Amino acid sequence: MNRQEYLFDVIKSFVISEKSQNIAEKATDAKTYVFKVLRTASKADVKQAVEASFDVKVDSVNTLNMNGKVKRTRHGLGRCKDWKKAYVTLAPGETLDDQSVAAETSAE
């Protein structure tokens, strides 16, 4: 797999939640979006992937490792997979158009 293919695989999906919507609306000049990304991706990888995929300028990237929840099943306790979340802040004046966001979320 070459570098371009890896960058397009870094972003898995948008995270649509109440918290992510509040963060997106709170920012006045710089928009912040939340993505589910590969666990092996670094901040630089996420930045390059967003810039290449959506043709925008990224200001900063913050990442979090999310632990999977423990769920109870009829066979005992089970566990969801761990995953990585990235908060991507775009440069002032940059936004993601609604069509690209809708296309990403419908692909899930």
Q: Is residue 100 part of a domain?
A: no
> Which residues are registered as beta bridge partners of 63?
86
Q: Are 91 and 69 in contact (CB under 8 A)?
A: no
Could you tell me if residue 53 is inside a domain? Answer: yes
Give me the domain span that covers residue 18.
3-92
Task: Give a yes or no: residue 105 inside a domain.
Answer: no
Q: Look up tokens 């913050």; give the residue.
A: 62
Residues 89-93 have a mean pLDDT of: 89
At 95, the pLDDT band (50, 70, 90 cuts) reads confident
Residue 81: both structure tokens together: 């997979």
* DSSP sequence for 58-106: EEEEEEEEEPPPEEEETTEEEEPPPEEEEEEEEPTT----HHHHHHHHH
The answer to the question of residue 62 being in a domain is yes
Mean pLDDT of 99-105: 58
- Does 46 map to a domain? yes
pTM for the full predicted model = 0.82
pLDDT digits (tens, 9 = 90+) for 57-85: 999 999 999 999 999 999 999 999 999 99
106 is a domain residue: no
| Overall number of domains in the chain | 1
Give kind and range of the element (H or E) at residue 36: strand 32-37
Does residue 12 lie in a domain region?
yes
- What is the average pLDDT across 29-52? 92
CATH of the domain at 75: 3.30.70.330
